[in-house]
């Protein structure tokens, strides 16, 4: 099968949706399918051979974050050419409600089109104003996937219709084994965080406040942070006497990200909301890192209501500190959570998830059909 995947966000900026699309593409190709991805990307980016640039991305505030997306005449022209030349059996658009390539691809194409909705959202004035344009795109979609109950609920309440629930995937084998980073390693007193430091909903300030509480009574406690952001903002949040116990790695390679998961005793996910799944949880679980996460609905579901990872009260630094201290003091419980996590995460492995996605492709395609350029639609 020839599959065209549409990524709405910049390929060179780490994120859950981009990682989902990358891993889906690689899983499909490993199964013998031909895959091409179109994504916002600078023309000089070092792109994989299966990724096509739709033009330079620009930062846009969206859904409580700042996303790097592409839209406009240049991107529209590149999407049309990609559709025209791709000869796809099915087009799979991710986040078609985001003002980026998904909308452009819906306008540009006719034929079997599947869409995956990753985010949950609340009705807003912006969505209400854009609804006629979005409906013109959604009308072309013949199969809809949501990665979580929250994303499905948002979609059905806003636009009606039905949606297949298929969770995010993770390549479990990629995370199972790795050496800790130099100078690190599970030592009974290391907390970890991975995410954009300057994005409020990732919850790093809550973790920093909790760390300050714990560091005062645990002299060996250290905090390892990986992800982009302003180091000064982080250190301003932590008392000066604890600065040497907070290490910022900045942006890390995929290999070092895996090693970071193996370098901590407790992986913390203090996200405050806006998450429909939590790919960092699935990655940490695959690595066997004991997880401590906020009790938002998406995380609670992935962690089996606390069976595969500990939970704390969302937004409460004191609660995070108390749960972290209990975990650090109890290696047997950490080992139990690690084992439970490794078992629980298997249902999210791409070997399972990709097969479910393929079944959706099969329901919308038939012999003799394919994706063609829509020459009469909006640009």
Q: What CA–CA distance (Å, rounded) separates 368 from 345?
A: 38
Q: How far is CA 213 from the centre of its chain?
A: 30
Number of other residues whose CB lies within 10 A of the CB of residue 230: 11
Mean pLDDT of the chain: 91
Residue 127 has pLDDT above 60, yes or no: no
Q: What is the pLDDT of residue 133?
A: 66
Task: Read off the pLDDT of each residue in 256-278 and give the average, rounded to a whole number.
Answer: 92
- Residue 113 or residue 68, greater confidence: 113
Helix (H) or strand (E) holding 68: strand 65-69
Q: Could you tell me which residues come within 8 angstroms of residue 362 by beta carbon, excluding any fewer than 6 positions away?
A: none
Domain residue spans in the chain? 2-169+349-373, 173-347
Q: What is the pLDDT of residue 376?
A: 66
2-169+349-373 matches 173-347 in fold:
yes
Q: What is the pLDDT of residue 164?
A: 94
What is the residue-wise DSSP string for 261-303?
HTT-SEEEE---S--SS-HHHHHHHHHT--EEEE--HHHHHHT
Helix (H) or strand (E) holding 85: helix 73-86
- Rounded (10°) CA dihedral 39, 41, 46, 52: 40
Asked if the 2-169+349-373 domain carries CATH number 3.30.930.10, the reply is no
Task: Read off the pLDDT of each residue in 24-49 and give the average, rounded to a whole number.
Answer: 91
Pick the CATH number of 173-347 from 3.50.50.60, 3.40.50.1220, 3.40.50.2000, 3.30.950.10: 3.40.50.2000
pLDDT digits (tens, 9 = 90+) for 355-376: 999 999 999 998 888 999 887 6
pLDDT digits (tens, 9 = 90+) for 193-224: 999 898 888 999 999 999 999 999 999 999 99
Residue 135 has pLDDT above 80, yes or no: no
pLDDT digits (tens, 9 = 90+) for 223-240: 999 999 999 999 999 999
Distances (CA, A) of 334 to 139, 327, 337: 48, 6, 5
Q: What is the pLDDT of residue 286?
A: 98
The answer to whether 287 and 171 are in contact (CB under 8 A) is no
How far separated are the first and last CA of the chain, in Å rounded?
A: 27
Q: Could you tell me which residues come within 8 angstroms of residue 331 by beta carbon, excluding any fewer than 6 positions away?
A: 188
Task: Please state which of the ranges 147-156, 193-202, 292-301 shows the lowest mean pLDDT.
Answer: 147-156
pLDDT band at 148 (very low <50, low <70, confident <90, very high): confident
Q: What is the pLDDT of residue 245?
A: 97
Task: Read off the pLDDT of each residue in 40-69 and give the average, rounded to a whole number.
Answer: 83
């Amino acid at each position: 099968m020839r599959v065209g995947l549409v990524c709405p966000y910049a390929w060179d900026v780490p994120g859950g949706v981009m990682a989902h699309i990358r891993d889906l593409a690689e899983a499909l190709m490993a199964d013998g399918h031909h895959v091409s991805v179109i994504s916002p990307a600078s023309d000089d980016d070092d792109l994989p051979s299966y990724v096509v640039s739709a033009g330079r991305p620009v930062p846009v505030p969206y859904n409580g974050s700042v996303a790097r997306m592409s839209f406009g005449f240049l991107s529209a022209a590149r999407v049309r050419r990609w559709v025209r030349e791709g000869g796809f059996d099915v087009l799979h658009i991710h986040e078609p409600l985001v003002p980026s390539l998904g909308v452009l691809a819906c306008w540009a194409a006719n034929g079997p089109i599947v869409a995956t909705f990753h985010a949950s959202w609340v009705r807003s004035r912006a969505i209400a104003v854009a609804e006629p344009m979005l409906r013109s795109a959604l009308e072309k979609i013949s199969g809809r996937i949501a990665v979580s109950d929250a994303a499905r609920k948002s979609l059905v309440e806003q636009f009606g219709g039905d949606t297949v629930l298929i969770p995010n995937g993770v390549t479990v084998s990629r995370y199972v084994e790795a050496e800790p980073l130099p100078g690190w390693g599970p030592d009974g007193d290391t907390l970890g965080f991975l995410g954009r430091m300057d994005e409020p909903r990732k919850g790093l300030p809550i973790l920093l406040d909790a760390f300050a509480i714990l560091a005062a009574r645990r002299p060996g406690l250290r905090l390892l942070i990986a992800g982009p952001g302003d180091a000064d903002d982080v250190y301003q949040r932590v008392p000066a006497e604890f600065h040497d116990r907070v290490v910022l790695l900045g942006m890390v390679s995929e290999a070092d990200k895996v090693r970071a998961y193996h370098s901590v005793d407790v992986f913390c996910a203090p996200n405050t909301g806006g998450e429909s799944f939590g790919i960092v949880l699935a990655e940490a679980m695959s690595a066997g890192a004991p997880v401590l996460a906020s009790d938002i609905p998406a995380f609670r579901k992935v962690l089996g209501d606390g069976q595969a990872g500990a939970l704390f009260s969302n937004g409460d630094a004191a609660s995070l500190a108390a749960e972290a201290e209990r975990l650090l003091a109890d290696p047997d419980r950490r080992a139990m959570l690690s084992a439970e996590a490794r078992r629980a995460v298997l249902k999210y492995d791409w070997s399972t998830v990709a097969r479910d996605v393929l079944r959706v492709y099969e329901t919308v395609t038939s012999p003799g059909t394919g994706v063609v350029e829509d020459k009469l639609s909006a640009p």
